[in-house]
Structure 1
Amino acid sequence: MQDFALTPTVATALFVLACLAGYQYRRTWVKEGPRWQLWVFGTVAGLSLAIVGFVPVTMSG
């Protein structure tokens, strides 16, 4: 199961990506923008957080 572990750098990058996608989702939602953008940003944020939440982080590189 070690093959499916994230490094701390990758986990941090995914978390930052999720935060940025969530921020864009909210901006698009407030401006009542196109629904396809809501789906894209929401999916990116959700998948990123799911990966960070369910894939273990290893300290050895």
Structure 2
Amino acid sequence: MPAFLASLHLTPLSGTILVVIVVLAGHRFRKAWKERETDSGWKTRAWLFGLVAFVGLLVLAFVPLKG
């Protein structure tokens, strides 16, 4: 394993901030999804917020928390 991956971890503060970002991105994804009938740009916003939430959840799932 490369050395930079061995030292990769989340602190409690960065983990908490990431959880908040994921929750807010998920909320905005849901809001964009609900606006699909009235707004033509909903797909772009849904993809953007969905990818942010997805990447954030992957980081939370696979990067260990150091505390």
TM-score, normalized by length of structure 1?
A: 0.90
Q: Which runs of 5+ in 1 are unaligned?
A: none
Sequence identity, in percent? 34
Rg larger in structure: 2
Q: What's the CA shift for 1:31?
A: 1.1
- The match for 2:10 is 6
Q: How many residues align?
A: 58
CA RMSD, 1 decimal: 0.8
| Pairs within 5 Å for 1:1-61 | 1=6, 3-32=7-36, 33=39, 34-59=42-67
Q: Which runs of 5+ in 2 are unaligned?
A: 1-5
- The match for 2:3 is none
